[in-house]
Amino acid sequence: MQSSNNIAEVVSHFECAADVGSQKAYGSGHINDTFLLKNVSAGGPDYLLQRINHKIFTNVEKLTDNMRRVTEHLKSKIREYGTGDPLKEVMTLIPTDTNKFFYQDSLGDYWRMFYFLSDTKSYDVVETPKQAYEGGKAFGKFQHMLADIPAGQVFEVIPDFHNIQKRLKNLDEAIDQDACGRVASVAAELEIVRKYAEEMQYFQQPEQVATLPKRVIHNDTKFNNVLLNANDEAQCVIDLETVMDGYVAYDFGDAIRTIINTTTEDEADLSKIQLNMPLFDAYVKGYLKEASKFLTDSEVNSLIKGALLLPYMQAVRFLTDHINGDTYFKIKFEGHNLQRARAQFQLVKMLDANATAMHQTILNEIDSYKTAQY
């Protein structure tokens, strides 16, 4: 962790009244380092300071431009709808003394700062259908508010981020290099990768490429990226650094991956990984309440494919990182990425067994909107 002296240097360049002495590590992100800083005066706004992982986000200037563009767009939508408070419902980046929205310190690290949204909560494991429903509404509304930004306009911060063919290629390269001699010990996991590899390439099939629209999506719709208020109502979608073009089913799938699972992403005891179907139903209801306003039929049909793909892709990414020697995701102990991969593969197996019924739930729900229009 960075020394407080360096944080003091960093903070002095942002237009804020942050109390450097109050800094504490915050959140459960796997990539960046986040700190909560209190305001020097009681009652003033608090701040979130983030050190951006520059190895992964190599173009911080363009990343920041994206975040500015997206947050301004979302705020203007909320003003236009006249129903909410843009300052509470959208993250607000804080400018620096040179009127940029990031700062590079003397060590070469990049930082950004937001207002902290007080009286909000996020959940790593969803507890109630109401929370799931609210999460669905939040991500559906998020996609809807961005639906008028044409594809191709947002900078591709991490190329091929959700391209499973690229992720499988990265895994093959890791296997070839076997940098830490771990390949022999993951034969069972590699077998699962192979078993599903072909069907997971649905989004690369020519028919899907021709019919599915690329839209500006969130690309990291873990449930803990929705902040809920004290009444468990969705307030703000956070973690906007991977907002890029993609298929809506990717966001749907990443949300389902974290919502339907009765336990955490990295559960060691696979028997504890169960599907909580009432939470799935509630998420679908909330999501389609908003997303039925713009989804095409092919997109509706693709949602379940996203729900299978995202845990699979996540497992492939965790496994690749394990083989590479844990160079990408932060780990808490040796073997953590392998444990995460196993948990995600387990989820894939269970989702696969239930996919037909889940797809039917989606179709029934969308039908209720179609019927309601006449």
Q: Which residues bind ligand GN1 (CB under 6 A)?
A: 29-31, 56, 220, 222, 239, 242, 265, 314
Strands 215-217, 234-237: pairing kind = unpaired
Residues 128-157 as x/- pattern, contact with Mg ion by CB under 5 A: ------------------------------
The CA distance from 202 to 60, in Å, is 32
96 contacts which partner out of ligand GN1, Mg ion, none, CB within 5 to 8 A by kind? none
Q: How far is the CB of 252 from ligand GN1 (least distance, A)?
A: 14
The CA distance from 248 to 335, in Å, is 32
Choose among 306, 257, 305: nearest CA to 279.
Answer: 257
Could you tell me if 334 and 315 are in contact, meaning their C-beta atoms sit under 8 angstroms apart?
Answer: no
Q: How far is the CB of 224 from Mg ion (least distance, A)?
A: 10
Could you tell me if 13 and 100 are in contact, meaning their C-beta atoms sit under 8 angstroms apart?
Answer: no
Name the residue nearer to Mg ion (CB basis): 220 or 245: 220
The CA distance from 90 to 80, in Å, is 14
89 contacts which partner out of Mg ion, ligand GN1, none, CB within 5 to 8 A by kind? none
The CA distance from 144 to 294, in Å, is 7
265 contacts which partner out of ligand GN1, Mg ion, none, CB within 5 to 8 A by kind? ligand GN1
Q: How far is the CB of 55 from ligand GN1 (least distance, A)?
A: 11
Alpha carbons within 13 angstroms on the beta-carbon side of residue 197 total: 15
The contacts of residue 76 (CB under 8 Å, 6+ apart) are none
Name the residue nearer to Mg ion (CB basis): 16 or 238: 238
220 binds Mg ion (CB under 5 A): yes
Name the residue nearer to ligand GN1 (CB basis): 33 or 281: 33
186 contacts which partner out of Mg ion, ligand GN1, none, CB within 5 to 8 A by kind? none
Name the residue nearer to Mg ion (CB basis): 241 or 299: 241
Which residues of this chain interact with Mg ion, rule CB under 5 A?
220, 239
